[in-house]
Amino acid sequence: MCGATEGGLSLDGIDVNKEAVVQGQVLRDGEPVGNAYVRLLDRTGEFTAEVPTSASGHFRFFAGDGEWTLRTLAPKADPVDHQVKAAVGSVAEVSIAI
């Protein structure tokens, strides 16, 4: 069973009304995948940012309004693309299965 915080990462100290937050967790067979990488690509496919997942498989981006692609790269897995829409004042919570 996964030991992740229910509802995802803590938003303590983040003014969600001023940010467009995209966050989530990478899972393999229901278990968190640490040391994977998640890339943030704009709507044209251009690289914008990349973060490693935590030991609990979590990641977070602060993005601009609009449509984005999350590309997940992990050992022993094909890359996985996931579409997400970000908006200031909201949190896009994503679960990515690899």
- Write the pLDDT tens digit of every residue in 2-38: 333 455 677 777 767 788 999 999 999 999 999 999 9
- Write the pLDDT tens digit of every residue in 50-80: 999 999 999 999 999 999 999 999 999 999 9
List of domains in the chain: 17-97 (2.60.40.10)
Contacts of 2 (CB under 8 A, 6+ apart): 27, 30, 31, 32, 56
SS3 of the chain: the string is CCCCCCCCCCCCCCCHHHCEEEEEEEEECCEECCCCEEEEECCCCCEEEEEECCCCCEEEEEECCEEEEEEEECCCCCCEEEEEEECCCEEEEEEEEC
- This prediction's pTM: 0.84
